[in-house]
Chains A and B, each alone.
Chain A
Amino acid sequence: MSKILEIKNLTVSFDGFKALNDLNFSMESGELRVIIGPNGAGKTTFLDVITGKVQPTKGRVLFKGKNIKKNPEYKIARMGIGRKFQTPRVYLNLTVTENLDLVCNHNKNVFSTLFSRPKSGEIITVAGLLETIGLEAKANAQAALLSHGEKQRLEIGMLVAQSPDLLLVDEPAAGLTDEETENVGALLLSLAESHSIIAIEHDMEFVRQIANNKVTVLHQGSVLCEGTMDEVQNDPRVIEVYLGKAPSITQQQMNMLRIAASMAWADGNFEPEQIDVILSRLSREFATNVEHQDSLQKELQNYLAKNIPLEDLVPKLKSFGEKERVLKLSYEIISSNEINDREAVVYQKLLQLLDLPTEMVEQVEAEIDAQYK
C-alpha cells in the first residue's frame, strides 16, 4: 500500500502564534483515520492546510507523493481531496439535485460549464447519489428547506459526487441526534471501503464506532500520540491532555494496577458494587492518605476502563518486588469472590508470564487464603 498523504515538519504560525507546530503525519491509502484533540489543538487548521485554505509557514504536504504547497483550493480539490465542513455548507438557494449536479460536473472550466450540457453519466450518478443519501423525495426541494441532518447528508453526497480519493470530514456528528449520528457513522464506514478518510471528531462514542484502525491525537499543534483506540485511550499523556492532569501515581504503579484490574475484568461482567470494592481495594494499595484514596478511586475508574492484553503489560514490570506485589494484588482480587473458570485461566496465564518461583507463589496464595478464611 502506498502513502496517500504525508506531512512533514509542518508549521503554521499566525502572527507568531503557532497553530501547528512541527507536525508529522502520514496515512496509508484506503485508511480511515480519526483525529481527536482538545479545543485549539489545531485540528481545523490541519484540514485548512491540506485543502490549501491556509499556506504552511514551514514544511511539506505530500498528497499521493506530490507536494501540494502553493496550490489554490480548487486545484487541490480537483486533485482529489474533498472536504466537509463542520456546519453543513450547501447552496441554500439551489435544489438538492442542482446541488449534486454542480459538484458532479466533470469539467469545471468556465467555458465547458457554460456551453456543455450535463452528460448522461453524470445524470445517472446524481440519481444514484440521491438514493444513497435518501433524499429522492426532496430532489426538487430547495436546500434551504432541508433539516440539519438532511443537509449533513446532502453535503456528504456532494462530497462523494466529487469522487475524491481522500475525504476530509470535520465533526460530522456535531448537532445530530443519536440516531442520525449512527447513520452518519454507518455512511462513513461504507464510504471508507472505497475512499481514504480523515475524520475529525469530539464525540468519543462516535469515534469508537468508526475508528477501526488508527487514531491520531493532536495537541498544541503537533501529534501527541498515534495508535489504536485502546492504546490512545490509555496513554497517560492523552489522559492528561483531555482530563487536564496526569495520574497521581507513577507509571509503574499504574502498570501494576492495570494487571490487577485485568484479573477483575477477566470474567467480563460484574456488578457496579463489585467494581467499587475492587477499586477501593486497589486505591488503598497505592494511596498516600485517605483523601488521596478517594480521588484515586475516581481516577482509576477512567483509567482502568479498558482491557489491555497481559502480554503487553507484564514485560513492563521491572523488579522482582513489583512482580510479587502484582501477584499478591491479583490473587487477592480473584479470591474476593468464588474463583470461576475464566478467572482461573487468566490467572494461570499471569503466573506463566510472571515466571516466579513456584514456592513463592504458593506462599503468597497461602497467606491470602488465610486472610480470607
Chain B
Amino acid sequence: MNVREEIIKKNKRRKQLIETAIVIGLVIVFAVILPVVLPGFRLRLLGRILALSIVALGIDLIWGYTGLLSLGHGIFFALGGYALAMHLKLQLPDGQLPEFFTLYGVKELPWFWYPFDSFPVTIIALIVIPGIAAGLLGYLVFRNRIKGVYFSIITQAALLVFFNFFNGQQKLINGTNGLKTDTETIFGILASSDSAQKTFYIITVIAVVVVYYFCRWLTSGRFGRLLIAIRDDETRVRFSGYDPTGYKVLVFAISGAIAGIAGALYTVQTGIITPKFMEVPFSIEMVIWVAVGGRATLIGAIIGTLLVRLAQTFLSESFPEVWLFFQGALFLIVVTVLPNGIVGWWRDFAWNKLSYVLGLRKRITTYASLEENPEVRQEREELEMRDR
C-alpha cells in the first residue's frame, strides 16, 4: 500500500512539473514571442480573444463544475468594462466633464462616477461590482431553489434588463453610444497607442494565467468536489449537512468577478464599451466557447475560446453570411456529437486510441470499468502466475 502511494505521489509530482513547464513555455510564446512577430492590430485581436477566454474560465466554473448555465454573463462582463471605461473617461483636467455629458445638458457629474476617479478604487470596483451584482442575483434566485432551465432564462432576462437600462440612460452613462476609451489616456498615455496596447496585452496574458491557477485552486480541493457534488445531486448535498445556496452564491459571484476582469481587459483592447456587450447572443456565445473546449476542464475553456474566436475572425472576415450558419451548426454539433468538448474527446477517446497506435498502452479487451477494477486485475494476475 505504501509503495503504491509513493508511486502515485511521484507520478503526481512529475505531472505537475510537466504542466508547469508547459505553462511557462506558453507564457513565453504568448507574452514574448508573439508581440514581436504579430502586427499591432493582430496582437490587439489576440489580446481580445485572450480576454474573452477569461470569461470562459468564469463560465466553466459556474456551468462546467456547478452545473448552472448562466446566459447572462454579459452583465458582469460589461460592468467590468464600464468601470474601467469610466475611469479612463475621467482622466480630464479638473472641473471638466466627459464631453458627452454636455450633449445632454448635464452640468454635474452623476454621483456614482466620483469613486472611479481613483485608479485603485477602479481596479477594486471592476472586480467587486460585478461580483456583488452576481452574488445578489444569485442569492435571490438560489435561495428559492430555482435551478436548471429556470435559472438560465432568469439570467437571460436579467441580461436584457441590464441592456435596456444601460441603453436607456443617456444622461447617466451615454446610453446606446457607450463609452469610447481609445481616445482617452491612462497614466498620461493614449489608450490606443502601441505601447499602451502592448501593456494591456501582457497584462491580459498574466491575467489568464492567474485566473487559470485561481480556478484550479478553487476546483481542486474539497470546495471543488463539493461543486461537483452540487452539480450531480444537490438534494444529497443538503442531507449531508451542507447548505448549497452559500456555495452557489459564492461561485456565481466569483464567476461574475472574473467576467468583470475580462470585460475591463476586453474593453481597453476594443476601444469602446457599449450596451451591445450585453446583447443576448453574445452571452450565449460565451457558453459555446466552454462547450467546444470541454466542460469542467479549465484548459478546455481557454482552448475553446481561442478556436471559436479565431474561426469567427477568419470566417466573418471573408464570408459574413456564413458565419451565423456556422455558429448555429456549431451549437448543434457540439451539443449532440461532442458533449464533452474537444478536451473531453481527447481525454476519453482520442488519447486512448492514439496511445494504442503508438503502443503506449495495452488494448482493453473488456469494459473499461472491469479493467480498472483492482479486484479483477488482481485475479487476472493470479491466473497468469498460475499459468506459468
A138-B373 CB under 8 A given contacts A91-B232, A114-B223 = yes
Contact with B along A77-109 (1 / 0, CB 8 A): 110001101000111111000100111010011
Q: Do the beta carbons of B242 and A82 come within 8 Å of each other?
A: no
Q: Do the beta carbons of A162 and B222 come within 8 Å of each other?
A: no
Q: Do the beta carbons of A141 and B373 come within 8 Å of each other?
A: yes
Residues A324-370 near B (CB distance < 8 A): none
Closest chain B residue, CB of each to CB of A117? B221
Task: Say whether A39 faces chain B, with CB atoms less than 8 Å apart.
Answer: no
Task: Say whether B246 faces chain A, with CB atoms less than 8 Å apart.
Answer: yes
**A107 and B236 alpha carbons, distance in the complex (Å):** 17
Contact of A94 among B223, B229, B238, B239 (CB under 8 A): B229
6 new A-B contacts, CB < 8 A, other than A89-B235, A108-B242, are A74-B240, A91-B228, A102-B226, A110-B246, A113-B226, A113-B247
**A78 and B240 alpha carbons, distance in the complex (Å):** 8
Task: Say whether A227 faces chain B, with CB atoms less than 8 Å apart.
Answer: no
Task: Say whether A290 faces chain B, with CB atoms less than 8 Å apart.
Answer: no
Contact of B225 among A82, A94, A138, A145 (CB under 8 A): A94
**A89 and B238 alpha carbons, distance in the complex (Å):** 12
A77-B236 CB under 8 A given contacts A94-B228, A137-B374 = no
Tell me the minimal C-beta distance from B361 to chain A in angstroms.
18
Task: Say whether A6 faces chain B, with CB atoms less than 8 Å apart.
Answer: no
Closest chain B residue, CB of each to CB of A114? B223
Task: Say whether A72 faces chain B, with CB atoms less than 8 Å apart.
Answer: yes
A110-B241 CB under 8 A given contacts A93-B232, A98-B225, A145-B372 = no
CB pairs A–B below 8 angstroms (26 shown): A53-B235, A74-B241, A74-B242, A82-B239, A85-B236, A89-B236, A91-B225, A91-B232, A91-B233, A93-B228, A93-B231, A94-B232, A102-B222, A108-B243, A109-B246, A110-B247, A110-B250, A113-B223, A114-B218, A114-B221, A114-B223, A114-B250, A118-B222, A137-B374, A138-B375, A145-B372
**A93 and B247 alpha carbons, distance in the complex (Å):** 18
Q: Do the beta carbons of A78 and B372 come within 8 Å of each other?
A: no
Task: Say whether A211 faces chain B, with CB atoms less than 8 Å apart.
Answer: no
Tell me the minimal C-beta distance from A86 to chain B in angstroms.
12
**A62 and B218 alpha carbons, distance in the complex (Å):** 39
**A102 and B238 alpha carbons, distance in the complex (Å):** 12
Give 6 nearest A-B pairs by CB, closest first.
A77-B241, A73-B238, A110-B246, A145-B369, A74-B243, A137-B374
Residues of B within 8 A of A93 (CB): 228, 231-232
Closest chain B residue, CB of each to CB of A88? B236
**A90 and B232 alpha carbons, distance in the complex (Å):** 9
Residues of B within 8 A of A102 (CB): 222, 225-226, 229, 240
Contact of B240 among A94, A110, A162 (CB under 8 A): A162
Tell me the interface secondary structure of chain B in the complex.
Answer: helix
**A75 and B373 alpha carbons, distance in the complex (Å):** 37
Residues of A within 8 A of B240 (CB): 74, 77, 102-103, 108, 158, 162
Closest chain A residue, CB of each to CB of B377? A137
Task: Say whether A196 faces chain B, with CB atoms less than 8 Å apart.
Answer: no
Q: Do the beta carbons of B222 and A141 come within 8 Å of each other?
A: no
Q: Please, how many residues of chain B have a CB less than 8 angstroms from a CB on the other chain?
A: 28
Residues of B within 8 A of A94 (CB): 225, 228-229, 232
**A50 and B89 alpha carbons, distance in the complex (Å):** 59
The winner among B228, B236, B239, B242 for most chain A CB atoms within 10 A is B239
Q: Which residues of B contact A (CB under 8 A)?
A: 218, 221-223, 225-226, 228-229, 231-233, 235-236, 238-244, 246-247, 250, 369, 372-375
Task: Say whether A293 faces chain B, with CB atoms less than 8 Å apart.
Answer: no
Task: Say whether A181 faces chain B, with CB atoms less than 8 Å apart.
Answer: no
Contact with B along A129-141 (1 / 0, CB 8 A): 0000000011001
Tell me the minimal C-beta distance from B381 to chain A in angstroms.
13
Tell me the minimal C-beta distance from B42 to chain A in angstroms.
40
Closest chain B residue, CB of each to CB of A110? B246
**A138 and B373 alpha carbons, distance in the complex (Å):** 7
Q: Do the beta carbons of A162 and B241 come within 8 Å of each other?
A: yes
Task: Say whether A21 faces chain B, with CB atoms less than 8 Å apart.
Answer: no
Tell me the minimal C-beta distance from A276 to chain B in angstroms.
49
Task: Say whether A11 faces chain B, with CB atoms less than 8 Å apart.
Answer: no
**A72 and B241 alpha carbons, distance in the complex (Å):** 10
Tell me the minimal C-beta distance from B60 to chain A in angstroms.
15
Closest chain B residue, CB of each to CB of A144? B369
Residues of B within 8 A of A158 (CB): 240
Contact with B along A208-233 (1 / 0, CB 8 A): 00000000000000000000000000
Task: Say whether A51 faces chain B, with CB atoms less than 8 Å apart.
Answer: yes
**A47 and B373 alpha carbons, distance in the complex (Å):** 35
Closest chain A residue, CB of each to CB of B241? A77
Tell me the minimal C-beta distance from B387 to chain A in angstroms.
23
Residues A143-169 near B (CB distance < 8 A): 145, 158, 162
Tell me the minimal C-beta distance from B340 to chain A in angstroms.
12
Q: Do the beta carbons of B239 and A51 come within 8 Å of each other?
A: yes
Contact of A92 among B223, B232, B241 (CB under 8 A): B232
Tell me the minimal C-beta distance from A167 to chain B in angstroms.
12
**A108 and B233 alpha carbons, distance in the complex (Å):** 17
Residues of B within 8 A of A110 (CB): 246-247, 250
Q: Do the beta carbons of A137 and B226 come within 8 Å of each other?
A: no
Tell me the minimal C-beta distance from B4 to chain A in angstroms.
10
**A72 and B228 alpha carbons, distance in the complex (Å):** 21
Residues A43-69 near B (CB distance < 8 A): 51, 53
Q: Do the beta carbons of B238 and A77 come within 8 Å of each other?
A: yes
Residues of A within 8 A of B242 (CB): 74, 108, 113
Q: Do the beta carbons of B375 and A137 come within 8 Å of each other?
A: yes
Closest chain B residue, CB of each to CB of A137? B374
Closest chain A residue, CB of each to CB of B375? A137
**A114 and B247 alpha carbons, distance in the complex (Å):** 10
Q: Do the beta carbons of B243 and A72 come within 8 Å of each other?
A: yes
Residues of A within 8 A of B226 (CB): 102, 113
**A248 and B344 alpha carbons, distance in the complex (Å):** 66
Tell me the minimal C-beta distance from A304 to chain B in angstroms.
43
Tell me the minimal C-beta distance from B376 to chain A in angstroms.
10
**A90 and B243 alpha carbons, distance in the complex (Å):** 17
